A and B are shown apart, each in its own frame.
Chain A
């Protein structure tokens, strides 16, 4: 294997082994999809993991949800937030915890998760405006969108550093440098990892094509939304994931969302409000 020009398989083969989704998520998924499971079954599984439970309760009581009173138990969270929604939150939190073990390198982990969480929150707000059935699904897609970058950093740190430098010197987007140098970008890598983890395509495809929404075949709407959320996230300049420039906005994606331009400032203000607590809860759990 030539480390100068790695393939997606080379990058993901190891990662899928090293970074495995916790058993908990798999069991949780099984229970939710099981035709017989009840609310108490779901509650029981989450409460087994005290760290996860407390993280969920903190998030449920944060401005992200804006619930009018206190949600003090997981069973209450399940009935109020919804089961599918909770499943996706569990996935988001689990992934952040998995990559906790990656050594600090050229990209600061706190800074990395700041960008990812920002995109997750913006995606969730965009989905709320579209009255999507499950906004947490967009939250988790947003949080996971740059997971491939994490793998690149862990597997080929020198190459990533080279590409960041080249991007800065030539004034080209980092993802564009990846595309021209590797033939793929970090989205493809992340998408492949999620596929191996058997995460549904409705989450994996937006991650894979967030820099090339036109390639989305199954979920163009969801992919467009994550693409737009990523552009907004970069424009908000919270955190750093290797990209020094705001990526160009794909107009077709923007039009597909059907959100008026006048809403943008409201969306960003809302994201700002929710961001502080969410960062403290989620990346606090990381560090």
Chain B
């Protein structure tokens, strides 16, 4: 089949045209690709620009590659919703551009363009040019408007370029938004830094003030103890001297009253200072070797005349096995005894007061000694027993008026006893009498009188396997006492002085049981237990830990158990209570 030359010619012509068309398409596509490729630089530049003016300049530069606008510029949307021309190119065209846009704002086309997301085209005022408006908006906010004037009629403008313009301007809008957000963030951060600095300064000031106040308090205490006592001693001394001079009966009576009041005031001052010192943690125990029996006799002697004046009788029973010389703070023990005896005398109108001393437990060079003061006084109501150890409390207001006193004595006695590793308890029946028992551990100095029978008795108490026990206790007297008790029971005991050393000991070897004091320096017992329990989460091992606490904290037993202690024993350790608690914790 042959083909007509005419048809062939036509076909060739058509293909040539087609080829030209394709080439043109190709060039155009390459152009658009180039524009898109360069727009990644544009993006990077937009991200770098942190102020609106440079974002606008970068954008105008990019738009120039796309269209040859005669004039172009940016309007921004201010806070009061006014549009303002902020950037234009060339700079001299500002007035011309403004006039053009004023007209569009008046006829409503500007408002229309604001709400479109694409280019909107209008003939310019002079009719020979085309105005392009394109909003600058993100999905959350309208930030402004791009305006540009192109020479010639709108019909020649190509559609892909308009699409490219949209892409550029959307990027610009987001760049503006991120610049604004960035500025806000920066602002917040500056504010935050300022606030942190301010707070730190305030806290530093507060800390300095607190430290200064604390120092002032200590200094005050130190001076006061001297400053108050010196003149009082002067007053009392002078009164005593005055008493020795030749006085009328009336004058003698006044001087006696003066001496008595002076002594009362001095003891009140001493009480208050002691309490303050205890509260400030300034009171320290100073142990020396002394005779317990001598100490008690001394106290009794001081009060004997008053007791017989009141028509009361006083008995002192000291068991034979009480060691002769012990190590302890004689002065503080006297203070406690005087207080208890004073109370007994105060609240007993008739009958007798009995002081008994006995050894509760004895292991080698350690003895647990109980001193009790028993009276036949008015007694204490069951409801008041809980509060009598609190400062400034007597059973009720009426007793204060009737019997006098500050209500500080028992509180001080309790604090002193606990500082020495002991405890103080009370049993009382209203109308029958009260019995205060002070239990204290003492190292025994004299070895002339070893108590073998007591030791044998103790050993028999533990019928199980010997245990390996770690004792964490800072008070040396208590620690010594506890260690001897444990050894007597046949256990293998190791002692440490604080929570940190306790953790270290547990790291290095294994213990069947830990006895943990609560109040210790460096790391207290509760903290140490938290670390032990935290570490256990990774293993299946459970370390039994028994809390050793001051007797006055016995009400908080539940809290200790909740915190993860397996058991609870109050100090000074009673052997029966201790053994039953160990059995409960380890074997039940």
Tell me the complex Cα distance, A82–B134, Å.
11
B29 x A35 contact (CB < 8 A): yes
Cβ-based interface call for B25 (8 A): yes
Q: Which of A120-163 contact B (CB under 8 A)?
A: 130-135
Q: Which residues of B contact A61 (CB under 8 A)?
A: none
Known A-B contacts A84-B118, A133-B118; A38 and B156 likewise in contact (beta carbons under 8 Å): yes
Cβ-based interface call for B137 (8 A): yes
A36 x B137 contact (CB < 8 A): no
Cβ-based interface call for B217 (8 A): no
Query: What total of chain B residues lie within 8 Å of the partner, measured CB to CB?
Result: 31
Tell me the complex Cα distance, A209–B194, Å.
54
Q: Which residues of B contact A7 (CB under 8 A)?
A: none
Q: Which of A3-62 contact B (CB under 8 A)?
A: 32, 34-40, 42-43
B112 x A82 contact (CB < 8 A): no
Q: Which residues of A contact B121 (CB under 8 A)?
A: 39, 79-80
Known A-B contacts A36-B25, A79-B121, A84-B118; A131 and B139 likewise in contact (beta carbons under 8 Å): yes
Q: Which of B135-187 contact A (CB under 8 A)?
A: 137-139, 154-160, 162-163, 166, 170
Q: Which residues of A contact B28 (CB under 8 A)?
A: 35-36
Q: Which of A78-102 contact B (CB under 8 A)?
A: 79-80, 82-85
Q: Which residues of B contact A82 (CB under 8 A)?
A: 116, 118-120
Cβ-based interface call for B24 (8 A): yes
Cβ-based interface call for A69 (8 A): yes
Q: Which of B23-51 contact A (CB under 8 A)?
A: 24-25, 28-29, 32
Tell me the complex Cα distance, A134–B108, Å.
21
B24 x A83 contact (CB < 8 A): no
Among B29, B162, B170, max chain A CB count under 10 A is at B162
Q: Which residues of B contact A35 (CB under 8 A)?
A: 25, 28-29, 32, 158, 160
Tell me the complex Cα distance, A80–B121, Å.
6
A68 x B120 contact (CB < 8 A): no
Known A-B contacts A39-B154, A69-B107, A82-B116; A32 and B137 likewise in contact (beta carbons under 8 Å): no
Query: What total of chain A residues lie within 8 Å of the partner, measured CB to CB?
Result: 26
Cβ-based interface call for B111 (8 A): yes
A68 x B112 contact (CB < 8 A): yes
Tell me the complex Cα distance, A40–B157, Å.
8
Q: Which residues of A contact B120 (CB under 8 A)?
A: 79-80, 82
Q: Which of B102-126 contact A (CB under 8 A)?
A: 107-109, 111-112, 116-122
CB-nearest residue of chain B to A34? B25
A134 x B117 contact (CB < 8 A): yes
- Measured CB to CB, the closest approach of chain B to A125, in angstroms, equals 13
A133 x B25 contact (CB < 8 A): no
B159 x A40 contact (CB < 8 A): no
Q: Which residues of B contact A40 (CB under 8 A)?
A: 155-156
Known A-B contacts A69-B107, A131-B137; A38 and B158 likewise in contact (beta carbons under 8 Å): yes
A39 x B157 contact (CB < 8 A): yes
Cβ-based interface call for A75 (8 A): yes
B117 x A132 contact (CB < 8 A): yes
Q: Which residues of B contact A79 (CB under 8 A)?
A: 120-122, 154
Tell me the complex Cα distance, A268–B509, Å.
77
Tell me the complex Cα distance, A130–B112, Å.
17
A38 x B112 contact (CB < 8 A): no
Tell me the complex Cα distance, A34–B160, Å.
8
- Measured CB to CB, the closest approach of chain A to B111, in angstroms, equals 7
Interchain Cβ contacts under 8 Å between A and B, 24 examples: A34-B25, A35-B28, A36-B24, A36-B25, A36-B28, A37-B158, A38-B158, A39-B121, A39-B155, A39-B156, A42-B159, A43-B155, A68-B112, A75-B154, A75-B155, A80-B112, A82-B120, A83-B162, A84-B163, A131-B137, A131-B138, A132-B117, A134-B117, A135-B117
Ranked 6 nearest A-B pairs via Cβ: A79-B121, A40-B155, A68-B108, A82-B118, A35-B28, A133-B117
Further pairs besides A39-B154, A39-B157: 10, Cβ < 8 Å: A35-B25, A36-B28, A37-B159, A38-B156, A40-B155, A40-B156, A69-B108, A79-B154, A131-B117, A135-B117
